[in-house]
Amino acid sequence: MTGIKWIAPLLALGLGAGCVEQELDVSAEAGAMLFAENCAACHGADAKGAGEFGVQLFNIPPDLTRLSEQYEGVFPRDYVLGVIDGFHRDPAFSAAMPEFGAGDLGPTVIVEEDGLGTPIPARLLALVTWLETIQE
Ligand code: HEC
């Protein structure tokens, strides 16, 4: 996670009363809540792959606490972003998991990495930040 810093929210949410600028929450805590709402049914509340719905699927959702382990101890951040978003998936990936990029992932924040700024939806970022914290 070196070399990454948040520059600024690209979009300040113009919310009714006086258009107050709202800080986008990209914290691990926000990610944990999003996970409970959107992912736990399949991946399990602990992300280990045994959600109530997930266990009935043809492809059992994988243990998401072992992603780093699969990538030689380095959390595969870009891969995970791409999988959740739906932008980058293996041809072998089953269609069971929804492409969250197609839904509302919230306004974008610019993430600077190696001198390049990439817009990433705030909710997507929060989810990935949380997933990184639960690696075993
Ligand atoms: C409808 C069930 C379902 C939901 C909801 C779902 N997933 Fe998945 N997910 C799967 C399945 C099944 C796979 C395995 C894909 C395959 O190979 O077919 C998977 C794979 C993944 C992978 C890749 C893991 C690896 O080892 O390569 C990640 C990361 C992931 N999901 C994250 C999420 C996140 C974060 C959410 C919520 C935003 C989510 N998923 C919601 C079913 C689901």
In tens, the pLDDT along 56-114 reads 888 889 999 999 999 999 999 999 999 998 887 888 887 888 888 877 787 888 888 88
Tokens 């980058």 label which residue? 88
**Going by CA atoms, what residue is nearest to atom 26 of ligand 1?**
62
Probe residue for ligand 1, chosen from 69, 97, 133, 136 as the CB with the greatest number of ligand atoms within 8 Å: 97
When pLDDT is cut at 50, 70 and 90, the band that residue 22 belongs to is low
CA of 28 to the centre of ligand 1 (A): 18
The better pLDDT of the pair 56, 15 is held by 56
Verify whether ligand 1 is closer than 6 Å to residue 96 (CB atom). yes
The better pLDDT of the pair 12, 59 is held by 59
CA distance 16 to 94: 41
**Going by CA atoms, what residue is nearest to atom 39 of ligand 1?**
39
Q: Assess whether pLDDT exceeds 90 at residue 125.
A: yes
When pLDDT is cut at 50, 70 and 90, the band that residue 34 belongs to is very high
Residue closest to 133 by CA, chosen among 21, 5, 20, 46: 46
Verify whether ligand 1 is closer than 6 Å to residue 38 (CB atom). yes
Check: CB of residue 63 under 8 Å from CB of residue 74: no
For the stretch 49-67, pLDDT in tens is 989 888 888 888 999 999 9
Verify whether ligand 1 is closer than 6 Å to residue 43 (CB atom). yes
Residue 21 CB neighbours (<10 A): 12
The minimum-distance atom of ligand 1 relative to the CA of 100 is 38
